[in-house]
Amino acid sequence: MVFRGRSDIDTREVNVLKTVGDIAYIKTGLKPGERVISKNQLLVYDAIND
């Protein structure tokens, strides 16, 4: 989920290139500087889709 503001959240598919521990390296799907919701994203997704 890409976060631009409280009322501007975009659900987007990404391709993970590699995961090392708790760090994921994204191959495609994000632009430099975009902020990503990485905690409780399922709760946020459910809240915006109700």
Please give the radius of gyration of the chain, using alpha carbons only, rounded to the nearest integer.
12
Looking at the structure of the chain, the number of domains it has is 1
Q: What's the domain range around 39?
A: 2-48
Burial (CB count within 10 angstroms: exposed 0-12, middle 13-18, buried 19+), residue 42: exposed
| Per-residue model confidence as pLDDT tens digits over 10-37 | 888 999 999 999 899 999 999 999 998 8
Please list, in sequence order, all residues whose beta carbon lies within 8 angstroms of the beta carbon of residue 10, skipping any fewer than 6 positions away. Answer: 1, 2, 4
Burial (CB count within 10 angstroms: exposed 0-12, middle 13-18, buried 19+), residue 35: exposed
Q: What is the pLDDT of residue 35?
A: 92
